[in-house]
Amino acid sequence: MTDTTVAENSAETAGTPATGLAYRVLARKYRPKTFAELIGQDALVRTLTNAINSGRIAQAFMLTGVRGVGKTTTARIIARALNCTGPDGTGGPTVTPCGVCDNCRAIAEDRHVDVMEMDAASHTGVDDIREIIEGVRYSPVSARYKLYIIDEVHMLSKSAFNALLKTLEEPPAHVKFVFATTEIRKVPVTVLSRCQRFDLRRVDAQVLKEHFTRVTGLEGSSIEPDAASLIARAADGSVRDGLSLLDQAIALAAGTVTAQQVRDMLGLADRSKVIDLFEAAVTAKPAEAMDILADLHRVGADPVVILQDLLDLVHNLTRLKVVPETANDLSLPEAERTRGAALSGRLGMPALTRAWQLLLKGLGEVQAAPVPQQALEMVIVRLSYAADLPTPGELIRQFQNANNGGNGSAGGGPAPRGPGGGPVAVAGTSVRAVARPVEAQAAPQPVEAVAVAAEERLPMPRDFKALVQLFADQREGALYGHLTGSAHLVRMEPGRLELRLKSVAPPTLPNRVGQLLTEWTGHRWVVIVSDAPGEPTLAEQEQAAIQRAFAEAEANPVVRAVLDAFPGAKIAEVRDLAATVEAEPPVADDGETPDLMVMQQEDGVYYPLDDEGDF
């Protein structure tokens, strides 16, 4: 090792650059040089270690993952591991490159003639791949293997990928390929099938926190645990992004990196202030919430980040409520493990769910608003006033108290029913009635038989609606559509059908309908076109039934009470359980079928509730 190299390494170890040497950012300075230095990628390290030790080295590797998790770094470590010759020049492939042999030093300095690194983002064409294909025929100049490292390989053109396929499948023994990409889905499957794939995971926040603390110590500085946690959260699993933020934080602090400095640098809100803001909103204190928002705005907190922190807080509070053991998770901020547990105990699941939906919807509004701070204030006001709304359980109890001995409907009126006596669904409430069986109708009279095998005959339709349904069951879609919307029934009896047709109906419809009915039922059918007015079409009857069901639902006292309790709510849908529900009707705890089933709606999402108003 030369004196210049020793001086440079000593300067890097001390954390200050040597005189005349350019400063190296932390992301480059602390780039891993061996598999042992990689963090958060245990599965990859274990697989590659076993492969190299056993000599089972693939001809091509595909490394994929988000930015900054170590794809290019891993590719360079693979190149050094395969070409290291040891300090004495007699070593073979190893998982612990020595770092002092000529190959290791040349690869580390990006000047080895046999290790070629190409950026596919700027070399996308087939001509660039053609150069690689020409070069693989020649043996390495000084290394054991000739390696081609192609970064962002998904940027190659389709013709470039096709040109590479044959060489990639059967390369010479002295050639290895290492690909790296952040968009694995854009890589053709024909290329993936020829590579050994490794998915590099996002690095856990706790691992990043420990790594950043260690790096700060090597730089001659110190960092508060909360500050390291904030940087680890902002890095979102990327080591490179986190080191870049740490580099900036060390320069800002010029000493000990504090949590407040990191918040100011990233535009983050104080976690305790976020909890104060949420607590004021869910306890219906909009004025106090506005004051807290003003303080956060004054210190430069980003409105989008504040809303994201609120969502993160609601998620953690919900987890604390569902899994109380989460309070022992050290990865959670201290404020949430202490104050969060008490706040979660005071809030019910309906309140937390409602807060999540309002905040999630508000996030899109803040991101799209011309003035994000104003949009954030409106979201907090909405959340504060939503806290005054009655819970689903309270609303049900109010209806039950107003009943005074009725049969389950407020005011003692009958529950609203759909066209077939089914439930009525309203924006906010659904009232379910027990479906009653339809009484059987008399069988049709026999008519003249046609020579059709008995096992192939379909039953005679009892009415016009059943007759039209035969065409749907037999996949005669065009005829089914005309019979539903263009045919007025004048008269029907077994073997005879009299219709008035609209002008849009084809002239061949009567003959075709009669022919198919004769074939299906085994009885001769005659279809006659009449000028009599006849009944409304089936489509018109269905529409009229829907309108009647809506009118009946709106007139029902229970539904009327719900509409009054939720201003602006409308009846959204009327359903017929007799036609749609195949399962048994719901049974209450006492074995009886309940009269009512109420569903609470918030922002377009319905939640079934029990008698106590819980989910």
Same domain, 338 and 226: no
Structure tokens at 581: 């529900």
Q: What span, in angstroms and rounded, lies between the C-alpha atoms of 227 and 232?
A: 9
Q: What is the pLDDT of residue 335?
A: 65
Q: In this structure, are 478 and 612 located in the same domain?
A: yes
Contact partners, residue 496, CB within 8 Å, separation at least 6: 525, 526, 528
> CATH code at 109?
3.40.50.300
- How far is Cα 66 from Cα 76, in angstroms, rounded to an integer? 18
Which tokens in the block code for residue 563?
Answer: 């509409």
Do 52 and 149 share a domain, yes or no?
yes
Q: Which residues of 248-285 are buried (b: 16+ CB within 10 A; e: fewer)?
A: bbbeebeeebbbebbbebbebbbbebbbbbbbbbbeee
The answer to whether residues 279 and 421 belong to one domain is no
Residue type at 179?
F
Here the contacts of 603-606 (C-beta below 8 Å, separation 24 or greater) are 603/357, 603/358, 603/361, 605/357, 606/430
Q: Starting from the edge strand earliest in sequence, which strands make up the sheet with 487-493, in order?
A: 487-493, 496-501, 526-529
The answer to whether the beta carbons of residues 242 and 234 sit under 8 Å apart is yes
Same domain membership, residue 374 and residue 397? no
Q: Which of 304, 299, 302, 279 is nearest to 289 (CA)?
A: 279
CATH code, domain carrying 241:
1.10.8.60
Structural domain ending residue among the three candidates 173, 199, 225: 199
- The SS3 call for residue 613 is coil
Tell me how far apart the alpha carbons of residues 483 and 516 are, in angstroms, rounded to a whole number.
Answer: 13
- CA–CA separation, 281 and 43 (whole Å): 45
For residue 444, the cross-strand partners are none
* Cα–Cα dist 148/115, whole Å: 6
CA dihedral sign, ordered 148, 151, 154, 157: negative
Is the pTM above the cut of 0.75? Answer: no
* Domain match, 539 and 609 both: yes
Q: Structure tokens of 579? A: 């036609």
Which one-letter amino acid corresponds to residue 387? A
User: Is 442 within a domain?
Assistant: no
The residue whose two tokens read 């004051």 is: 291
In-domain check, residue 559:
yes
Residue 26 forms part of a structural domain: no
Q: Let me know: does 400 contact 409? Beta carbons within 8 Å.
A: no
Tell me the C-alpha distance between 478 and 74, whole Å: 62
CA dist 120 and 128 (Å) reads: 9
Pairing of β 487-493 and β 496-501: antiparallel
Residue count of the chain: 615
Per-residue pLDDT, 388: 74
Please report the pLDDT score of residue 594 as a whole number: 44
Q: Is residue 223 part of a domain?
A: yes
Q: Say if residue 464 is in the same domain as residue 573.
A: yes
User: How far apart (Å, rounded) are the C-alpha atoms in residues 281 and 376?
Assistant: 12
Q: Is residue 560 part of a domain?
A: yes
Instruction: Give the whole-angstrom CA distance, residue 202 versus residue 200.
Output: 7
Report CA Rg, the chain.
37
- Residue 269: per-residue pLDDT: 67
SS3 472: helix
Question: Which two structure tokens, joined as six digits, stand for 396?
Answer: 């049900």
For tokens 């009943």, what's the residue?
A: 403
DSSP class per residue in 531-592: -S--SPPHHHHHHHHHHHHHHHHHHSHHHHHHHHHSTT----EE--HHHH--SPPP--TTSS
Question: What pLDDT does 10 receive?
Answer: 38
Which residue stretches of the chain have pLDDT < 70?
A: 1-21, 268-269, 327, 330-337, 391-394, 400, 402-456, 576-615
pLDDT at 88: 85
Number of domains in the chain: 4
Domain that holds residue 327: 272-386
Residues 73 and 222 both lie in one domain? no
Q: For residues 336 and 470, state if they share a domain.
A: no
**C-alpha to C-alpha distances, 147 to 116, 179, 336, 525, nearest whole angstrom:** 6, 10, 49, 81
> Of the candidates 266, 282, 314, which is a domain's last residue?
266
On the 0-12 / 13-18 / 19+ scale of CB atoms within 10 A, 516 is: middle
Residue at 137 is within a domain:
yes
**Residue-level pLDDT at 579:** 54
3-state secondary structure of 495: coil
Euclidean distance between CA atoms 137 and 131, whole angstroms? 11
Same domain, 322 and 398: no
Tokens read off for 315: 């998620």
Decide which of 199, 233, 256 is a domain's last residue. 199
The 10 Å CB-count burial string (b at 16+, else e) for 390-407 is ebbbebbeebeeebeebe
Cα gap 517→596, rounded to integer Å: 44
DSSP letter, residue 493: E
Q: Which tokens sit at 107?
A: 């690869």
Q: With the CA atoms of 92, 98, 100 and 106 taken in that order, what torsion angle do they form, in degrees rounded to the nearest 10?
A: 70
Per-residue buried b or exposed e for 37-50, using 16+ beta carbons within 10 Å of the residue's own CB = ebbbbeebbeebbe
Residues 99 and 175 in one domain: yes
**Residue 259, both tokens:** 């949590």
**Looking at residue 421, what is its pLDDT?**
40
Do 216 and 261 touch, CB atoms closer than 8 A?
no
The secondary structure element, H or E, covering residue 198 is strand 196-199
Helical segments of 237-371, H only:
239-253, 259-266, 271-282, 286-298, 303-322, 334-346, 349-368
Asked whether residue 564 is domain-assigned, the answer is yes
| Shared domain check, 210 and 93 | no
Residue 18 inside a domain? The answer is no
* Class of residue 587 by CB neighbours under 10 A (exposed 0-12, middle 13-18, buried 19+): exposed
pLDDT value, residue 188: 92
Query: What residues contact 527, with CB distance under 8 A and at least 6 apart?
Result: 497, 498, 499, 510, 511, 513, 514, 517
φ, ψ of residue 28 to 5 degrees: the values are -90, -35
